[in-house]
Amino acid sequence: MVKSGINFGETFSANPNIKFRWKSPQDTVPDDAYIIVLFDMSGSMQCSTDLNRKGNCNKVPKGQRKYDAAIDTLKNFVEEAKTWKGKTQVSIVPFGNRVKTGNCNFSEPFVNVSPDNLNDFQNVESTELTKFLNTDLSNKTPCTATNIYESLYKSVEFLTNDSDERFYPVNREGEPTDNQPRLSIILFTDGFYTDTFNKDETIARGKQQQQIDKIATLLKKNP
């Protein structure tokens, strides 16, 4: 049975056992979004975006480094996110390990993928987020070793905490609400990974696979 002259918001159905509630696209409110951006602070990010360029990466001028290209891309992403409807929260988390005194112009806490750093969500319209991109991050020199999988694991673990009602809101009955927020992790890295380095490539690959399997297991527990 077809009913003409639909009033959006009205509930009806040809089958009395199945109810539909029509909603106008104009009335639809996009789900909130929580996005963790992991940003690689390893020394190789100082290298040139020109992969054919030879020589010491430390001598690549600012503006020509992978690091600068990644920051520009992240700025463009934030500008795009400002056009989205709904509330979009972003937490930018620099990551790396084995910070060397004298080579780095920041200390270990800056690249610590801790609950506090992961939880530093800012609205995409926030002036604090703009300041972090334009000053705090842009003025740093990438210099660490790389711990991609450990950082990913901690981020996934943080977002899959189903007791956090920001990420998994429930109604009065304790059931999940209809509008669950979108949860995302974006990884900015050039892919050079040092934490599982081994001269024997088979051993190195095996260690990497173990860490990937840990992340996959965590995701399966909370898809």
Nearest to 151 by CA among 128, 181, 117: 117
CATH of the domain at 121: 3.40.50
39 lies in some domain: yes
5 lies in some domain: no
Q: What Å distances lie between residue 123 and 55, 79, 88, 186, 213, CA to CA?
A: 40, 12, 6, 16, 32
What pLDDT tens digit does each residue of the chain (223 aa) get?
444 444 444 444 455 555 555 555 555 567 899 999 999 999 999 999 998 888 888 899 999 999 999 999 999 999 999 998 889 999 999 999 877 766 788 888 999 999 999 999 999 999 999 999 999 999 999 998 888 989 999 999 999 998 999 999 999 998 998 889 999 999 999 987 666 555 667 777 777 788 888 888 888 876 5
Q: What is the pLDDT of residue 178?
A: 86
pLDDT in tens, 79-97: 999 998 889 999 999 999 8
Q: Whole domain around residue 63: which residue ranges?
A: 29-221
Q: What is the pLDDT of residue 221?
A: 73
Number of domains in the chain: 1
199 lies in some domain: yes
What residues contact 90, with CB distance under 8 A and at least 6 apart?
A: 35, 36, 37, 78, 81, 121, 122, 123, 124, 129
